[in-house]
Structure 1
């Protein structure tokens, strides 16, 4: 977490010589509301805010929390190094997990994408970074709700625990319960782990762990795959 925050300070406009907030710094928004360190750090981790010093020459300065526009957020996230690849998958290989059902009884066959893009998330309830990502992952689901993109979250937890959790923390992926055996097929041991599977059921992108730009890269990969499919379709009709 500390190293990620340092990266945020560098990428989002903090020079090495500039004042940086500490646990005891006063961090407030434009209305004057003061944020606890846990809150402003979490907001920074999501990549949608920056912090600016009120007085750069004052070692005890207060800081302002500033919300970025979507364009500003994406421009900054594009500067961050790509999330590290997982040790469990290889780009270009077939994704070999097969048929399963989500907790609502919907049948899913990950071996046969039928021309769809599939985004898979391995996670579990008591994984803090997994929970941190859920609101942003839900936004991604909403963005592609009308497209041939499906989102599958393979959880280690049982159905009862998941249903209880989802009452207070909605997660809009297809939720697959008791997924430990599925995770073990690929040796997944770190969470969250994300995989983007292309229209031919091949791994296109994969990453493990907490990163400020994971969701940005999931979105980027979906857009790339959709553009490639559109170009192929156009070429075949000419």
Structure 2
């Protein structure tokens, strides 16, 4: 009987984790089509030059397990496309010291932006993280969702413009 229960429960747990990951990447509204004129976040180093460049804007936190899983994926995306002009900005509302400590165990190779007052999160209606947006070179959001759901073709489309 225990084996039967395990065989029934395991797929249900896996399904709930998958669906939970999809639900986490939510916003209260669709942001596709919105133009970002000025990204008002703070950076620990030099601010990246975003004017005329495509970028991925991702909302995350150190305490978020799905965010931790998506960071290596975003590192790989950044490594693959940075020489073609793609920037990635990971926005968190946590403080710099928390992020620095976190990066000792989970390195982040792209730019981290800080939104301590959650103003950017509120502007975009971010309700669940991780949540990513692909922004084209004109500043228009052309895709949004869970960062692990981004396809190469979504990124390639903004690099061709």
* TM tier, smaller: 0.7 to 0.9
| More relative contact order, 1 or 2 (CA 8 Å, 6+ apart) | 2
State the match for 2:149 in structure 1. Answer: 214
State whether structure 2 residue 56 is matched by structure 1 residue 119. yes
Secondary structure of the 1:143 match is helix
Q: Deviations over 1:22-80 (max 9, x none)?
A: 4999xxxxxxxxxxxxxxx7xxx7xxxxxxxxxxxxxxxxxxxxxxxxxxxxxxxxxxx
Deviation at 1:115, TM superposition (A): 2.3
1:107 equivalent to 2:107? Answer no
Query: What pairs with 1:79-94 in structure 2 (closer than 5 Å)?
Result: 86-94=27-35
TM-score by length of 2: 0.75
Please say if residues 40 and 120 of structure 2, whose CA atoms lie closer than 8 Å, have aligned partners that are also in contact.
no
Give the greater-gyration-radius structure (CA). 1
- What CA distance in whole angstroms lies between the structure 1 residues aligned with 2:26 and 2:104? 32
SS in structure 2 opposite 1:146? helix
Counterpart check, 1:145 vs 2:82 = yes
* Structure 1 consecutive aligned stretches of length 4 or more whose deviation exceeds 6 Å: none
Q: State whether residues 59 and 129 of structure 2, in contact with CA within 8 Å, keep that contact through their aligned partners in structure 1.
A: yes
TM superposition shift of 1:107: 1.6
Using structure 1 for the length normalisation, give the TM-score.
0.53
Offset, 1:91 = 1.9
- Say which structure is richer in helix: 2
Gaps of 5+ in 2: 1-5, 19-24
Over 3 Å counting, the alpha-carbon distance change for 1:187 and 1:121 in structure 2 is: same
